[in-house]
Structure 1
Amino acid sequence: MGSEQIPEPPSTAATPHRAAAHDPSIADTVHRWLRDRIGDLWALLTDRPISLYAASVLRIGYGLLYLVFLLREFPHRDEIWGPGSPWTPALAQQLFDQTGWNSILILSDSRAYFELCYVTALVTSALFMLGWRTRAMSVLFAVVVTSFHARSIFMTDGGDNLILLMSLYLVLTACGRRWSLDARRDRLKAARAGSAPEPARSFRAQQLLDARTTLITVVHNCGILVIGAQVCFLYGSAGLYKIQGPTWGGGTALHYALNLELFQPWPALSHLVDEYPLVIAIASYLTVLLQVAFPFVLFGRLKYPVLTVLLGMHLGIAVLLGLPVFSGAMIVADAVFLPDRFYAFLPRLWRRAARRTETGPSAPGRATGSGFVPLQGRPARPGAPASEQPAAPAQQDTTTPKVRPRSGRA
């Protein structure tokens, strides 16, 4: 016992990682970084509403798309949703009891009631697209889309599902702040008010107004983020699902799709495209690559060419496979990823193109390439005789060198 040696404690120089683990500066840095990130996220949600133009584009796009869809199916409305449908209201009610869905179309078997619901759906889609009383119209539009979707759920496809989801998400957004009748009414009201001072509010009323503004901003921003996440999830899951199939891996998936009679609106065009197997293989691989990579390219400039290629892909699906509703729903959904500065630039670009169209490349009676040279001298007085009008400067002789006058200073 007396000969046993007491082990010496390990030196701090031999274990630098332990000292670093207990270093308070590192913990403070991590804490500060987390606090800054949380502050940035809170500022993003509460400072100002984001993507107001994108939300308006979604409102206009889905309102117009559903309006065109209802008008296209107007001759067949009774067989799809009405009392004459093979899927009777009794069968629909049995399905609703199992799935939890509901529809205002099965509240009555009357033909007059169905026609009233159909006209209401048309008017609601048009008013929602125009942005008239957008807050109320967005709720009514969601009810209309949900009711028609649930009434004949076995006749829907991916495009109908996406329109249903987007109609529910748009209820949360302030999609009537731009390019709407509501925005026009607010501008006219502000112009009539002019520089009149705002009425004085009490402290409690001002607090309630600020809380309401913050709540609307937070709900709108969350709705926009949910829409973006939904589109990312849709593209990513579709791409990962395609990778599992041997036809997409072999580059022959589009070949089989083009030869299905159900997806041949123009058989001659489908057979013409199918004659180029290399193009079919490249399009198959490019489709999978873009869908898988889509969620990862949204935070850089690479998203612009990706969105352009996806636009061409959806147009090809609409033309070659005869799925215009699905393609239109996807094209409108992609618009949420374009910044507001892009949409704000479009009207200026349109006005600039309109001015160029009106004026033309050159004015009549003027040589092409000659610019307008303003007259020199004092401005002309209105109604003055021609003798008092300032004369245009004489054309200078470019062959004679100019002589700079000598100044009085050395």
Structure 2
Amino acid sequence: MPDRIGALLTLLLEQPISLYAAAVLRIGYGFLYFAFLLREFPHRDEIWGPGSPWTAALARQLFDQTGWLSVLTLSDSRAYFEVCYTAALVTSALFLLGWRTRAVSVLFAVVVTSFHARAIFMTDGGDNLILLMALYLVFTACGRRWSLDARRTRIRASADTTAGHRLDQPSGEFRLHLRDARQTVITVLHNCGMLVIAAQVCFLYGSAGLYKVQGGSWGNGTALHYALNLDVFRPWPGLSLMVDEHDVLIAIACYLTVLLQVAFPFVLFGRLKYPVLATLLGMHVGIAVLLGLPLFSGAMIVADAVFLPDRFYRRLGQLCRRTARRADVTEARTPTPAEAALLPPQSGRVG
């Protein structure tokens, strides 16, 4: 037991974990919320603005009971709302790109919280998870990989190395201890944040599976049949009817959904998690297409990325770079039509 406690403390204190996964979460949720705000741009006034049936006065009355806050209710001016909406789009884009991530992550959390609280009855379940993840990501070092911050750090390190400067060598013992303490705090906050994110996803899947077990429609395999016949969840009625004709597949999908959700927290410590995550990916894609819940499905797919190790993302990055290099070489070797016209004609004889 002392050895395990020591190993856990070493894991939490010495090295940040899952930096690539944190970057994927930042990119995924930044992109989802940016796309969400763009999609609702024509309807922004009816959902969050002065023309919404859920007025700012009603929202403030609800805040008195729930304790929520929103920057959108600070003024009823239309100009103020348009400025806030534009700032939300810019903040989401900057968070996606990883520019000044430490400060922008706080702004992103404020944006998501404000828009969620302003129209809490007018959105689906996807923004609930994005709200939680936006709050958790504030404490993580999600800008150290695949970001503009990481690119700037590499360029600065390369320039300092070329100039012969020694990096991160503070003068004085006090500054050295201060730097080490700061690094330790950042590492602990990041690791705890990633562990909380993983625990949140496990709790979400486990509770959803246990809740389904209590329902009779999931037990007899008809839950998806009823969902596919609800008009509010039928963006493609013809496709829903075609899928609903396969009763056996619908029942298997019901049982498999419950099994995967209940078993999810127990398969994360072995290789079995990879087929489980792949199956959940297919399930969420089906939910997005068949039930018309792309924001919810996207939020769950991004959340599942926290369970993939950094070596997976490093290999994925290497594969992408290798593919890009091969494409560049192929493009360089392929003559343009003008160059092909200058080539001597082939005789057709071999030897």
TM-score by length of 2: 0.92
Give the number of the structure with larger relative contact order, counting CA–CA contacts within 8 Å between residues 6 or more apart. Answer: 2
Shift of 1:47: 1.1
- 1:252 is aligned, of 215, 222, 231, to 222
What residue number does 2:88 align with? 121
The whole-number CA distance in structure 2 between the counterparts of 1:285 and 1:166 is: 29
**1:353 shift after superposition:** 2.3
- 1:102-157 CA-partner distances (Å, limit 9, x unpaired): 10001001000000000000000000000000000000000000000000001122
Task: Provide the rounded CA distance (Å) in 2 between the counterparts of 1:291 and 1:233.
Answer: 10
Distance in structure 2 (CA, Å) of the matches to 1:122 and 1:350: 29
Q: Deviations over 1:31-70 (max 9, x none)?
A: xxx2112111100100100000000000000000000000
- Answering whether residue 171 of structure 2 is matched by residue 197 of structure 1, we say no
- Higher share in helix: 2
- State the match for 1:333 in structure 2: 303
d(CA) in 2 for partners of 1:252 and 1:116? 47
How far apart, in 2, do the equivalents of 1:357 and 1:40 lie? Answer: 45
2:316 is aligned to 346
Structure 1 pair 207–358 and aligned structure 2 pair: CA distance change class (3 A): closer
CA distance in 1 between counterparts of 2:328 and 2:172 reads 53
Give the corresponding residue for 2:196. Answer: 226
Residue-pair matches, total: 329
Match of 2:43 among 76, 87, 93: 76
Please, which of 229, 240, 245 is the counterpart of residue 270 of structure 1?
A: 240
* TM-aligned CA distance change 1:302 to 1:214, over 3 Å: same
Aligned-partner SS, 2:99 = coil
Q: Aligned-residue CA RMSD in angstroms?
A: 1.2
The partner residue of 1:216 within 175, 178, 186 is 186
Question: What are the ranges of 5 or more consecutive residues in structure 1 without an aligned counterpart?
Answer: 1-33, 365-410
For the residues of structure 1 that align with 2:40 and 2:89, how far apart are their CA atoms?
A: 12
Give, in angstroms, the shift of residue 215 of structure 1.
0.4
SS at match of 1:282: helix
Q: Is the 8 A contact 2:170 2:176 kept in 1?
A: no
| Cα separation, 2, equivalents of 1:106 and 1:347 | 43
CA distance in structure 2 between the aligned counterparts of 1:351 and 1:129, rounded to whole angstroms: 21
d(CA) in 1 for partners of 2:130 and 2:18?
19
Query: What is the one-letter code of the residue matched to 2:132?
Result: L
Residue 86 of structure 1 aligns to which amino acid in structure 2? P
Q: Distance in 1 between matches of 2:289 and 2:142?
A: 30
In structure 2, list runs of 5 or more residues that go unmatched: 335-351
Residue 62 of structure 1 aligns to which amino acid in structure 2? Y
Instruction: Write the letter of the residue equivalent to 2:291.
Output: L
In structure 1, what is the Cα distance between the partners aligned to 2:166 and 2:321?
Answer: 34
Which 10-residue stretch deviates more, 224-233 or 154-163? 154-163
Q: Describe the shift of the 1:207–1:266 C-alpha distance in structure 2 as closer, same or farther (beyond 3 A).
A: same
Q: 1:213 is matched by which residue type in structure 2? A: Q
Quote the residue 1:176 is aligned against.
143
Q: Give 1:196 deviation, angstroms.
A: 1.9
Deviation at 1:348, TM superposition (A): 1.1
User: Post-superposition shift, 1:200?
Assistant: 4.8
Shift of 1:207: 0.4
* Equivalent of 2:106 in 127, 130, 139: 139
Q: Determine the C-alpha separation between the residues in 1 that align with 2:241 and 2:123.
A: 27
Question: What amino acid is the match of 2:59?
Answer: A
